[in-house]
Amino acid sequence: MADLKYLKRLSRDYPNIKAASAEIINLKAILALPKGTEYFLSDLHGEHEAFIHMLKSASGTIKMKIDEHFENILSEKERDDLAALIYNAEAEIARRKKIEPNFNDWCSIAIYRLITICKSVSTKYTRARVRKRLPKYMDYSIDELLHADDEANRAYYYSEIINSIVECGMAEDFIIELTEAISRLAVDKLHIIGDIFDRGAHPDAIMDFLMDFHDVDFQWGNHDIVWMGAATGNWACIANVLRMNISYNNFDMLEVGYGINLRPLATFAAKAYGDDPCRYFKPHILDRNKYDPVPEELAAKMHKAIAICQFKIEGQRIKAHPEYNLEKRLILDKIDLEEGTVEVEGVKWPLRDTNFPTLDMQDPYALTPEEEEVMNSLSAAFLNSEKLQKHIKFLYSHGALYTKINGNLLYHGCIPMDEEGEFKEVELGGVKLKGKELMDYLDDQVRKAYYAPEKSRETGFSGDLMWYLWLGGDSPLFGKEKMTTFERLFIEDKSSHKEYTRPYYKLINKRETCEKIIREFGLDPNRAKILNGHVPVKIKDGESPIKGGGLLYVIDGGISKAYQKQTGIAGYTFIFNSRFMALAEHKPYSPLAEDGTQEFYSPVMKTVETMPERLLIIDTDQGTKLVEKVDDLKDLVEAFKNGEIKEQY
Q: What are the tens digits of pLDDT across the range 600-632?
A: 888 899 999 999 999 999 999 999 999 999 999
Q: Which of 582, 552, 555 lies closest to 567, judged by CA?
A: 555
Question: Shortest CA distance to 477 belongs to which of 523, 427, 442, 437?
Answer: 442
Nearest in space to 195 (alpha carbons), one of 165, 172, 228, 173: 228
pLDDT of residue 383: 96
Q: Of the candidates 400, 425, 405, which has an alpha carbon nearest to the alpha carbon of residue 523?
A: 405
10 Å Cβ neighbour count for 587? 15
pLDDT value at residue 286: 74
SS3 state of residue 350 = strand
SS (H, E, C) 267-302: HHHHHHCCCCCCHHHCCCCCCCCCCCCCCHHHHHHH
Three-state secondary structure call for residue 115? helix
Answering whether pTM is above 0.95, one says no
Give me the pLDDT at residue 541, please: 84
H or E segment and range at residue 582? strand 580-585
Other CB atoms within a 10 A radius of the CB of residue 212 amount to: 9
β-strand 572-576 against 431-433: which pairing, if any? unpaired
pLDDT: which is higher, 436 or 286: 436
Is residue 599 over pLDDT 90? no
Element (H, E) at 394: helix 386-397
The dihedral through the CA atoms of 94, 251, 207, 222 has a sign that is positive
Angle between helices 61-70 and 103-121 (to 10 degrees): 110
Q: What is the CA radius of gyration of the chain?
A: 28
Cβ atoms of 564 and 63 within 8 Å: the answer is no
Strands (DSSP E) found in 438-545:
530-532
By three-state DSSP, how is residue 41 classified?
A: strand
Rounded to whole angstroms, how far apart are CA atoms 452 and 445?
A: 9
How confident is the model over 456-469, as pLDDT tens digits?
A: 777 667 899 999 99
- Nearest-5° angle of CA 435, CA 219, CA 534? 80
Phi and psi of 217, rounded to 5°?
A: -135, 160
What is the mean predicted confidence (pLDDT) over 583-592?
Answer: 88
The pLDDT score that the predictor gives to residue 260 is: 97
Mean pLDDT along residues 128-156: 71
Q: Give the pLDDT score at 462.
A: 81
148 pLDDT band (50/70/90 cuts)? low
Task: Please give the helix or strand (H or E) that residue 86 lies within, else none.
Answer: helix 76-87
Decide which of 287 and 440 is more confident: 440
pLDDT at 644: 93
- pLDDT number for residue 268: 97
pLDDT of residue 610: 95
Q: Which of these ranges, 195-199, 436-440, 489-493, 597-601, has the smallest mean pLDDT?
A: 597-601
Judged against a pLDDT cut of 80, whether residue 136 lies above it is answered with no
- Whether the pLDDT of residue 480 is over 70: the answer is yes
Query: With contact defined as beta carbons under 8 Å apart, do 623 and 36 qualify?
Result: no
Contact 295, 278 (CB under 8 A): no
Mean pLDDT of the chain: 92
What pLDDT score was predicted for residue 589? Answer: 87
Mean pLDDT, rounded, for 210-239: 96
In this structure, the number of other CB atoms found within 10 A of the CB of residue 422 comes to 13
| SS3 (DSSP) at 259 | coil
Which strand (E) or helix (H) includes residue 229? Answer: helix 222-230
| Domain locations along the chain | 2-32+625-641, 38-193+533-615, 233-377
Nearest CA to 269 out of 278, 257, 261, 280 is that of 278
In whole angstroms, give the CA distance from residue 84 to residue 78: 10
Three-class secondary structure assignment of 416-442: CECCCCCECCEEECCEEECHHHHHHHH
Is the predicted pLDDT of residue 1 greater than 60, yes or no? Answer: no
Q: Give the strand pairing for 189-192 and 38-41.
A: parallel
Phi-psi region of 3 (alpha: psi -120 to 50; beta: other; left: phi over 0): alpha
Distance CA(15)–CA(576), nearest Å, equals: 38
Could you give the 3-state DSSP secondary structure of residue 168? coil
Q: Give, as one character, the DSSP assignment of residue 579.
A: S
